Amino acid sequence: MSPLSRTLYRTAQWAVTLVAVTFLLGQILPAQFAKKSNASKGPRALGLLELAANGKAHLVPVAILIDGQFYDASVYKAAPVPMALESGIVYEAVRSGTSQGLFTVSGALATKTRGWVGAGTWRDSASIAAAAEAAKKKAEAKPPSIDAEIGGPPVLHRGNAKAPEAPKVEKPAPPAPEAKAPATPPAPSPERVEPEDPNRPVLRRGKPAAQPKAEDLEKELAEVEVKPTAKQVAPEKSNIQVIPAISDAGGPEPLPFLYAMKDGEEAQFRARMQAMAAEAILAQQKQRSQMTASAAPSQKPTTGKVKTAPKPAPPSFHDINFHVFDLSNNNEPVMVLTATVEMASAPDVHYFVTVVGRQNIYGDMRKVYANVTDQNHLDVIPRMEFLDAVDADGDGRGELLFRKVSDTGSAFSIYRVIGEQLWPLFEGALGS
């Protein structure tokens, strides 16, 4: 082969390789970065709705997205009330990406134990749909007169509607100036109202309700309060529902994040995740044993046959909380398991374990994250309480919302699953 032929062959081979790499990237990148261009420009506030069985609801601010950056919503622009809890702001409660109803903030209170908490009015999706249907039937039965003001059923406004134009008022002609005195400008017309800028970034707003009294709000909070306890081994069953809630004037429609499982898949996924959790606990036990052995004084080696350690007994799982999501709508399940675990080798220790796993396109289960702690080490390793999957930044993909609980207090964290790791988008500071 001539030198020229070899050069052309290498060039052709490089071109084929480049085309192949480009094709593979074109298949991989959309799955990881799909719908990123549709991300909300914000502000976009994330809160936690606490809903009691009697219909009372309150909102705990979590994070607020401003120009692509997350901030602690409990302190952002608190002058004195945080921006996320201003009266009239509307939040849409979303469980695993599915809308549950609307919460309108009417007031806020700075508590000693929980910080800022918002009070307001809760309307679930069923009542909103029923009110819309009733309004529709009433409008069909009795058409409004021409001069009557036409009202419509309650709808979700997402910031696309334009602000109403201000009425035009003819200004009176100014009086002629006197010879020895300056002209007096006419008083501004009280009927003229300057319209708000429709492009001004605001959270979703509704009609402000009456401000509740501080003593009434404190009484309601005592009835609905949720206190995460770090050392609580078996949490009591509560009638309080905790649902993520989003407020965004121009954000996207919510998308469901639950993974559609086939028959038998849930039991299979759960077993594999429990095995992954047991491996994480055993790995931590081994690491602590090695640290204890290295700190102890050295002993003389024993002669004779060394006994093999018996196989550890299987762990005992309690209070299992298991979820399977399709966070990027690419049919790759992401699993989250939290549980309290007891090991026969340490009967007095109650382990708190949180494991995140992902099954790839080949069916292989990969560990994304594992958190293991116990009631004696919460000052060093906080317990990770999983709350739900939520679209925190408005790009159409789901993130994982956790609450870290330690001896010193609790804080919220938002993580995105990228490959086989969790990428932090927001991590609140632990405090009392």
Domains with residue ranges and CATH for the chain: 44-128+200-248 (no CATH), 265-289+313-427 (2.40.128)
pLDDT at site 313: 74
**pTM of the predicted model, to two decimals?**
0.72
Q: CB of 48 within 8 A of CB of 238?
A: no
To the nearest 5 percent, what fractions of the chain are helix, strand and coil? 20, 35, 45
341 backbone dihedrals φ, ψ, rounded to 5°: -125, 140
pLDDT at site 269: 96
Exposed, middle or buried, 348 (CB in 10 Å: 0-12/13-18/19+)?
exposed
Tokens 């929980």 belong to residue: 114
Q: Which of 75, 80, 76, 81 is nearest to 66 (CA)?
A: 76
Mention every residue, 6+ apart, whose C-beta is less than 8 A from residue 218.
109, 111
Exposed, middle or buried, 112 (CB in 10 Å: 0-12/13-18/19+)?
exposed
- Helix or strand (DSSP H, E) at 270: helix 265-295
Distance (Å, rounded) from C-alpha 54 to C-alpha 57? 9
Distance (Å, rounded) from C-alpha 110 to C-alpha 90? 20
Q: CB of 109 within 8 A of CB of 214?
A: yes
pLDDT at site 66: 94
Q: CB of 370 within 8 A of CB of 353?
A: yes
383 DSSP β-pair partners: 405
pLDDT at site 222: 61
| Residuewise pLDDT in 10s, the chain (432 residues) | 444 344 433 444 544 444 444 444 444 444 443 444 456 677 999 999 999 888 889 999 999 999 999 999 999 999 889 999 999 999 999 999 999 999 999 999 888 878 899 999 999 999 899 988 888 888 888 766 555 554 555 444 444 444 445 445 455 555 555 545 444 444 444 433 334 444 445 687 766 666 666 666 666 666 555 556 555 554 445 678 999 999 999 888 999 999 999 999 999 999 999 999 999 999 888 887 777 666 656 666 556 565 666 676 788 999 999 999 999 988 899 999 999 999 887 888 899 999 999 998 888 899 999 999 998 999 899 999 999 999 999 999 999 999 999 988 899 999 999 989 999 999 998 875
Mention every residue, 6+ apart, whose C-beta is less than 8 A from residue 31.
328, 330, 332
pLDDT at site 143: 66
